[in-house]
Amino acid sequence: AQSVTQLDSQVPVFEEAPVELRCNYSSSVSVYLFWYVQYPNQGLQLLLKYLSGSTLVKGINGFEAEFNKSQTSFHLRKPSVHISDTAEYFCAVSGSSNTGKLIFGQGTTLQVKP
Amino acid sequence: EAGVVQSPRYKIIEKKQPVAFWCNPISGHNTLYWYLQNLGQGPELLIRYENEEAVDDSQLPKDRFSAERLKGVDSTLKIQPAELGDSAVYLCASSFDSYSTDTQYFGPGTRLTVL
């Protein structure tokens, strides 16, 4: 069985500061990893995904994430956040069984303060 | 390109009443998903369709929930009768195929409040 743990429920940060949102996963098979963002009253939007190859993945809006197989982590980072980055962020995993089923973490609320 | 469309956006009903949600996926997407998102939680898959066939409905509470995807395009999710614990956001998503590498595109969701 697969599972995802987002280690922080809330992350407050000042505007223009760097941020890291932590995600750990558990799986007995090869995985694909995703980060989604959810703005208030909106659906989820894909930020980036890791399928294979380079462990550093760049996404939209200046976000990037690094896949670390030995630590079973996929942490999301941004070097300088904006007020508009305030949102809920979800880490998700799917397996190599090709069912398309996503397992989501509980989410991390990023609060960017002026 | 139009995104995933869901309606209604908000629904308030009394317990024991029926309710239905509608979803129109992105044109050309063969796979459609319904997710349940409780407050403060990540989405959880309820049912997955490949074209008109429900290929994964193991998480759907079949005593009160039903879904259909006639003609393999839009889909309806129904609850009858609704219970207080059904208050949540119901998200619809679609993808071109059902491979684990495919990006799922989400609609804005329907927020259900059961009184």
DSSP chain A: --EEEES-SEEEEETT--EEE-EEEE-SS-EEEEEEEE-TTS-EEEEEEE-SS-SEEE-GGG-EEEEETTTTEEEEEESS--GGG-EEEEEEEEETT-----EE---EEEEEE-
Cβ of residue B28 closer than 8 Å to a chain A Cβ: no
Q: What is the pLDDT of residues A45-104, one digit of tens each?
A: 999 999 988 899 999 999 999 999 999 999 999 999 999 999 999 999 987 665 778 999
Q: Which residue of A has its CA nearest to B102?
A: A100
Cβ of residue B104 closer than 8 Å to a chain A Cβ: yes
pLDDT band at A40 (very low <50, low <70, confident <90, very high): confident
Among the residue ranges A65-69, B2-6, B32-36, B100-104, the one predicted with the least confidence is: B100-104
Residue A100 and residue B40: Cβ atoms within 8 Å? no
